[in-house]
Structure 1
Amino acid sequence: MKNYTQLTTEEKKQIRTLGELKVAGYQSKSIKQELRDNLIEKLKSGESPFPEIWGYEETVIPELERGILSMHNINLLGLRGQAKTRIARLLVNLLDDVIPVVEGSDLNDDPLQPLSYKAKELISEKGDDTVISWWEREDRYTEKLATPDVSVADLIGDIDPIKAAANKLSYSDERVIHYGLIPRSHRGLFVINELPDLQPRIQVSLFNILQEGDIQIRGFKLRLPLDIQFVFTANPEDYTNRGSIVTPLKDRIETQIITHYPKDLQIAKKITEQEANIKPAQKDTIAVNEVVRNLIEQIAFEARSNEFVDEKSGVSARLTISAMENLYSAAERRILINNEASTYVRVADLIGTIPAITGKIELVYEGEQEGAGEVAQSLISKAIRKQYINYFPSPEQAKKQGDNIYQPIVEWFGDGYKVDLIHAASDEKFRKVLDSVPNLRKIVEKKYPNETLEEIYFRMEFILHGLAEFSQLSKHNLTSSMSFSDLLTGMMNFSDDEDL
């Protein structure tokens, strides 16, 4: 007969009584030991325990693995949008497929180590005939967002007077307790998001569970050695401020791990591509190049170092995810308006990402004075300026050199010409407008001789934006279009608008 550890999940589920479980050779194991053993197996086999988590391979993941091997409770400390909750949820992958529980027990009791009164009573009455059920891996995960209204009753439990009256029980009897989320997570993962938001008295009840293994409910003291893997998440500003967290609780969380934002654009792009919900119809009809993907990520990088954005609040990775979704939708809207079969994304489509940006950044006082929309447009401009020099010569450097490739373009605008790129214009009209600018296409074809037609026009537009960001041309974002003109003319028009 196979040993319990050799049984498949389906073979385990065939075991229905405590006696059969003993015969199979089942041995009790704490959840921390279970996580440790399964992590060891994955590391030995070269399998990643945390798939689809990018940028943490040399920082957060090794620290997390060391915490699990040490059988510690874990606190993930970082700004918003740093995959803290996602990491916590992936810990489920390190649990056994199923574990046995006493059927009908209150606390998912281990058949060999019953904890609740009901489980002990069942085993005492039925012995080896006690019915066993199986707890699935996914069901062993519990998550709670800490909010000021969370009570001790929610997390720990409370005395149920109706149960006491119905069963004619004294309030000193364990059976009158209605257990909260934490006791019901016995032998499972329990995650508390934004830990400092819990009231101090609830934090005190938590460190009692973590260290002493007992709970107190309205004066009812009960020794309850719960077997739980705790994972906490918190924001550094809240966590380190005096009074936001009870010090003894902080002391009892053995491993603290600092998370961070992606350190380079390539990692950031992988995250956005993985998480963005781009519809199949959008992927089939809209072509997006690497330049735009880099620009989207650069916006977030610029925001994280911008003087108008609150650094302590952070800039979530959800900014770029939402921005990418909006970018596709901006191009899709243009297809629908013009009844076209497909389109190529434009630099001007970044205007469509402004609602995603303004909704994901917290501004300091000066930023509020400037206005969220203005700050968002400034971030887009800075991103274009930063990325432009990766694809074309810097206009500032070209101007200093004898052979300025941009000179014919700047002079053409200086003769009084201007370009209006309408956001909803068809591809045909869009190209016609760009073709009116002398030397623009020539620069692109010389620098990129093997580009497709769509890519050529994209880069032609990109040059106009780049010249504007390097103060060679004037650019005005209007409601339905983007206008490029001579720098001096643009400044005079802007002054006229101010007077109006």
Structure 2
Amino acid sequence: MDITNIKTLGDLRKSGYKSRTIKEEIRENLIGKIKAKENTFPGIVGYEETVIPDTERALLSRHNILFLGLRGQAKTRMARQMIDLLDEYIPTVEGSEINDDPFRPISKFAKDLVAQHGDSTPIHWVHKSDRYGEKLATPDVSVADLIGDIDPIKAANLKLSFADEMVIHYGIIPRSNRSIFVINELPDLQARIQVALFNILQEGDIQIRGFKLRMPLDILFVFTANPEDYTNRGSIVTPLKDRIESQILTHYPKTIETSLEITEQEADVLEEQSKRITVSDLVKRLIEQVAFEARNNEYVDKKSGVSARLTIAAYENAVSSAERRAIIHNEKQTQVWISDLVGIIPSITGKIELVYEGEQEGPYQVAVNLLEKSIRSQFILYFPNPEASKKKKATGKASQQVKTEEENPYKAIIRWFDGGNHLDLLLDSNDAGKLNSLYKVDGLHAFVKKYYPQANDKENALLMEFVLHGLASYSLISKKMLDGKIEFKDLMGSMMNFGAMNFEDDLTEDDFR
């Protein structure tokens, strides 16, 4: 039998339906999912051993919840997924503004209707998707918005005095009765507005203008807050925080693998892009590493955090950079090269908050530096650490019988640049042009083949480019990002040219007399 075919209170009684509070409803449905080994929060990655168990415990305890964490940590998403723990439909008194339970009406309208019609009282079925309310806390939010106010227009239309309860216009919280209600960024709510929530959480009554109503609202409250807000914009008043039974700390992905999974799941890449563009595991890891570098960078404000949205947007931009090249050169297939990662810089600059020193450096330069640090960190996971070769050379402790190439596996590549050669990688070059350029560097292909003999031609080419960027990040060769290209040269020659330019700038007319 389809329960939604029941249309009156009498038929509802005969069906044996039993009403539950929302917290009991969620608790029992959660127990069922746990017993069935179902994923209670599908799509939430990286919280399996931390946030999700904490949330399950809070819901089993029938607690209101505060998710406390930096931006981009899936706080609101966790709250929205709680909808799946609700019953498919619940009955309400038809016409009620606050989803009155037919068995336990709390509004004057519903009480009067049930008293007048008895078992003939019409009922309405509400789907779980309509049992979720959300409000972003902003300084302009008023008590009337959240709780309600007297409606003079209603009073005039119904010819009622302002002393009649029927003239009340309910706010968003009473209208979320028997629902999940979320207040995002709670510290942004003015203290006097937070105070208005005390009695709703603890006593179950509301006060609207002169009315003090005993309305035991049936709501699961979920609040979100950013620790940064406590100092920058406001705070959660202590009595309110005391009334929120469970505070759950969220966090960023702890490993690259978790971060990769999140980006793979969330990135909005079109099917036509996926067919045309190949993105290697190497490039994906470089993009994720940028976020890890940013979270520990001295120029980035750690209190503000670095959202997972950074890597999602960066991944989409990397794909689009390669796609743009393919469109320009009418290529049916291409891959994301390391040089395409220049295209993710706009995704970085808009998603990091800088400290004073970072502002002096400039957001663009900070983003470039983060990309360089990402390359540096990932390089030693694929190839020998260039620092080891530097140390051997500096200490002179390497055995004289060991060949120079074994002491420094990059020697042949560096020697090519030391010979006065340079390499320009055009950002908008087609794949064939990039290959021709890379194969000019003596020893580069042989070096990659030595460590990755099973790699195919496309993988070889990407690794060859990666080696050049890696050597530059370890200051073994010079790299300059110019308009439309990346220039690789020998380090010493670049330094001497830079010194010569500065020397010429310092010369005066007297120096030539």
For this structure pair, what is the TM-score category when the shorter chain's length is used for normalisation? over 0.9
> 1:490 and 1:22 mapped to 2: Cα distance?
86
Q: Which residue of 2 aligns with 1:193?
A: 184
Q: Quick check: 2:187–2:233 contact (8 Å CA) kept in 1?
A: no
Q: Which residue of 2 aligns with 1:436?
A: 440
Give the stretch that moved more between structures: 101-110 or 239-248: 239-248
Q: Which residue of 1 aligns with 2:268?
A: 277
Residue type of the alignment partner of 2:425: L
Q: Which residue of 2 aligns with 1:248?
A: 239
Task: Encode CA deviations 1:399-442: one digit per residue, 9 max, x unaligned.
Answer: 53641221111111011110000000011111000010001000
Q: Which residue of 2 aligns with 1:384?
A: 375
Q: Which residue of 2 aligns with 1:3?
A: none
> 1:297 and 1:236 mapped to 2: Cα distance?
24
Q: Which residue of 1 aligns with 2:484?
A: 480
Normalization by structure 1: what TM-score?
A: 0.96
CA displacement at 1:398 relative to structure 2: 3.5
Task: Encode CA deviations 1:250-272: one digit per residue, 9 max, x unaligned.
Answer: 10000000000000000000000
RMSD between aligned residues: 1.4
CA displacement at 1:215 relative to structure 2: 1.1
> 1:466 and 1:354 mapped to 2: Cα distance?
18
Alignment match of 1:91 (pick from 72, 82, 89): 82
CA displacement at 1:451 relative to structure 2: 1.0
Alignment match of 2:351 (pick from 360, 372, 377): 360
> 1:492 and 1:14 mapped to 2: Cα distance?
85
Task: Encode CA deviations 1:307-366: one digit per residue, 9 max, x unaligned.
Answer: 000000000000000000000000001001111111011011111000000000000000
CA displacement at 1:133 relative to structure 2: 1.2
Residue type of the alignment partner of 1:295: L
Task: Encode CA deviations 1:157-212: one digit per residue, 9 max, x unaligned.
Answer: 11001111222212121101000100000000000000010111110111121011
Mapping 1:88-237, distance limit 5 Å: 88-237=79-228
Alignment match of 2:429 (pick from 425, 430, 446): 425
Unaligned residue ranges in structure 1 (runs of 5+) = 1-6
Residue type of the alignment partner of 1:482: I
> 2:495 and 2:298 mapped to 1: Cα distance?
25
CA displacement at 1:288 relative to structure 2: 0.6
Structure 2 counterpart SS, 1:54 = coil
Structure 2 counterpart SS, 1:126 = helix
> 1:283 and 1:335 mapped to 2: Cα distance?
13
> 2:375 and 2:61 mapped to 1: Cα distance?
46
- Distance verdict in 2 for CA 1:73–1:496, change over 3 Å: farther
What number of residue pairs does the alignment pair up? 491
> 1:32 and 1:88 mapped to 2: Cα distance?
14
Q: Which residue of 1 aligns with 2:511?
A: none
> 1:218 and 1:491 mapped to 2: Cα distance?
74
Q: Quick check: 1:475–1:490 contact (8 Å CA) kept in 2?
A: no
Q: Which residue of 2 aligns with 1:337?
A: 328
Alignment match of 1:60 (pick from 46, 51, 57): 51
Give the stretch that moved more between structures: 432-441 or 446-455: 446-455
| Identity across the alignment (%) | 60
- Is 2:465 the partner of 1:461? yes
- Distance verdict in 2 for CA 1:113–1:326, change over 3 Å: same
Give the stretch that moved more between structures: 202-211 or 255-264: 202-211
Task: Encode CA deviations 1:269-327: one digit per residue, 9 max, x unaligned.
Answer: 00000001011111001111111111111000000000000000000000000000000
> 1:372 and 1:494 mapped to 2: Cα distance?
24
Structure 1 counterpart SS, 2:135 = strand
CA displacement at 1:492 relative to structure 2: 3.5
Unaligned residue ranges in structure 2 (runs of 5+) = 393-397, 399-403, 506-513
Structure 1 counterpart SS, 2:105 = coil
Task: Encode CA deviations 1:345-397: one digit per residue, 9 max, x unaligned.
Answer: 10111110000000000000000000000000000000100000111111222
Structure 1 counterpart SS, 2:228 = helix
> 2:501 and 2:19 mapped to 1: Cα distance?
77
Q: Which residue of 2 aligns with 1:396?
A: 387
Residue type of the alignment partner of 2:378: Q
CA displacement at 1:491 relative to structure 2: 2.3
CA displacement at 1:239 relative to structure 2: 3.9
